[in-house]
Chains A and B, each alone.
Chain A
C-alpha cells in the first residue's frame, strides 16, 4: 500500500438511498475498506436521497428540494471528501447539481463547493489515495460490468480493474460488451420493463459467455438489475458490489 497523504484523510460517507435500504452491507464494506487504508470516516444520518430518481424522471422541483437537503447536510461538514459506493449518485451531484437543476443562488454556491469533494469509491481509492492494493483476498473468476454514469460521466473504467487485479486469488476476465447498458436506468426499469428486460437478456448472455462466477461493478442499482435475472434463471453466477469484494480478507 502506498499513500501520498501523511495526515489522516477525513471522509464523509454518501450512502445512496438504495444502499441504505437494500444493500447496507455494501455500505459497511466500503467503510471497512476505507478504514483499512487509514481514512477517518464519518456519517451524517440526516442524509436520505440525492434526488436522482426524481431528476431522471423529469421531476425537477422534487429533485431540487432533495438536492437542497443534501447540500445543507454536506456543505461545510469538515470532511475533505465525500465518498459514495455509486457512480450514478456521485454523477448526480458532480454533474447534475449544476445548471440543469436551477438551484437558488446560495445553493448554487454550496453545490460548487460540495461537487468538488464528491468521489465515487474506486475513483477515490485509486485517483485520490493512490491505493491499488487494499489487502483483499477473494478467490474467484470475476468480471466487471461498466455502469453507464460511472463510465461516461465520470470516466471510471480502469479504477475498478486496477483494484481487482491486486486482490489475492482473484482472476479478472472481461465480458464482451462490458460497456453496454444493463437496462436499469432508474424508473426506466419499471416504466419500460419489457425493453429493460430485453437489454438485460443481452447483458446476462455476455456474462455467461465470460465464464465468470461473479459479476461486479460500482453501482448496486445495475447489480440489482443483473442479479434479478440471474436469480430468476437460477444461473451459477452471483453479483457483488466491488466494495464487498475489496472488503474480503484471507480466511
Chain B
C-alpha cells in the first residue's frame, strides 16, 4: 500500500522524532502559562477584567451595554427592537431568561419574531437561508468572553444555529460578565470543553462587527457578516456560571 498518506508519513518519519516526551510538552505549557499570566498583569477576575473587556470590545467596533439581570435586557435593547421588522432568537438559557421572546411577541405584528427552532428555518425547508438573510436582527447567547481582545465566544448547538449570528445585519449577543476570562490561552479549558466534551462542530470567536481594510487600508464596517454587533453584559453572579459546565 503506497497511498499518498503512507508516502508522506514515511518521508516525515525519517526526519522527525516519533515519540513526544510529555515533560517537554508540559514545560512548554508552563512557560506559556507564565508568559500569559505576566502579560495579563496579574489581573484574573473582577471589575478590572470586565472593564478591559468593555474597552477592547469597543475598540473593535462593538456596542457594549450592561444589564444587571437578564430581565433588564429587553428594556436596554428597546431601540434595536423597535427598529427591527424581523428578529430571529436563539434558544439558549440566557436568551430565554431575558424574556425577549415574550417582549417581542407582545408587540404584535410590528415585528416578525422567529426562533432558530421554527420549521421554516430548518435545513430541510426551501429558502431557509434567504429567511435568515432577510432578518434584521439575530439574538444569541455567548458562552464566554476574552478580556484581552474584547471577543465573545459563541458555539453551535441545538439551541443556536450558525446562521442566526451571521446572516441578519445586526447581531446582539448576551454574555454573563462572570464568563469573561483574561486571555485566549486562559480560554483553552472552555474551548476544549465545548469541542471535545460537548462536541460542538463550530465554536466562533467574535470581535466586533464584520470589517475590512482591503481598500487602501480604510476601515469599512459591515462586509459579509453583520454590520452592527452589540454585546449586552449581564453582571449578576449565578451559581451555574462556571466555565465548562454551564448549561447552554
Whether chain A touches chain B in the assembled complex (some CB pair under 8 Å): no
Chain A positions near chain B (C-beta within 8 angstroms): none
